[in-house]
Structure 1
Amino acid sequence: MTETRRIVLSSDHAAIDLRQAIAAHVASLGWEAVDIGPTTPESTHYPAHGAAAARRVASGDCRLGIVLCGTGQGIMMAANKVEGIRCGVCSDTFSARMIRQHNDANMLALGARVIGEGLAFEIVEAFLSADFEGGRHGTRVDMIRALED
């Protein structure tokens, strides 16, 4: 994983406003936000946006990623199809910390129709401030990686 503080953000049409607010928020926290869109409200397909963001993380171009759609579920599923990605959808801060600490998640998915901006910021902060604990969790993450083979 790259050590830079670059984070890619993407969404479908349902989450443009929240994604842009989160991009500004992570920038205020000292991260370089790489917002890859979309920027217009026409209906778009979350699998393409989830995969595009996931490829930026998997390639090492960005250290982490945040993807959004209406529920967060669909875009999370698409992101997880990219080799090397461990993305979890969260609607609370505890889960956001745990997917980093225990699962070494490199992407976070959020549902714009599920949570509001204030809670989204708290979840993002919990995700960004947590570090992978390794140890027994490393063994389990290795088991997840092996499923890709």
Structure 2
Amino acid sequence: MKLAIGCDEAAFELKEIIKKLVESKGIEVEDFGTYTVSEKVLYPNIAIKVAESIQRGDNERGILICGTGIGMAITANKVDGIRAAVCHDPYSTERSRKSNDAQIMCMGSRVIAPELAKYLVELWLICEFAGGGSKDKVDRISEYEKSIKNAMNI
């Protein structure tokens, strides 16, 4: 698996912890920044880069971290074909993959502690889309995205 990761300055320290954890599992990580705690960035720019890398197939999954995770998720979900979910507890983390086939996990460094974040990342990495009754729902999301593109002649 190849994984994209990105954060804003509020989450730099947590990103570095998560990046180290993921790499220790033998997963290749592409880091989209920010690269220091003092580098001010607009988190939407990072979220778009990570989401587009997944859209292109350069990375299989992604992790985005900001203060709450909410802004990263909102932005990433604007990229066609991307499903990003805020994951702050084990149940939502598991369901983001098993029920919603989310390619991007979003977390808030001001919401959860590093040890919980590491646990959730480990859980998210082993979960796969279960299909079943959720398949029709995920297919409907994709169908709607395609209808929008068709209506706009894209």
| AA matched with 1:39 | Y
Which whole-Å CA distance do the structure 2 matches of 1:29 and 1:39 have between them? Answer: 22
Is the counterpart of residue 103 in structure 1 residue 114 in structure 2? no
Runs of 4+ in 1 over 2 A off after TM superposition: none
Structure with greater Cα Rg: 2
Residue 7 of structure 2: aligned partner: 11
1:32 counterpart (22, 28, 35): 28
Q: How does 1:52-131 map to 2 (within 5 A)?
A: 52-131=49-128
Q: CA RMSD in A?
A: 0.9
Which whole-Å CA distance do the structure 2 matches of 1:99 and 1:83 have between them? Answer: 18
| AA matched with 1:135 | G
- TM-score when scaled to structure 1? 0.94
Unmatched 5+ residue regions in structure 2? 147-154
Which whole-Å CA distance do the structure 2 matches of 1:53 and 1:99 have between them? Answer: 18
| AA matched with 2:70 | Q
**Which protein has the bigger helix share?**
2
| AA matched with 1:37 | G
Deviation at 1:126, TM superposition (A): 1.0
What SS class does the counterpart of residue 145 from structure 2 fall into? coil
- TM-score when scaled to structure 2? 0.91
Aligned residues: 145
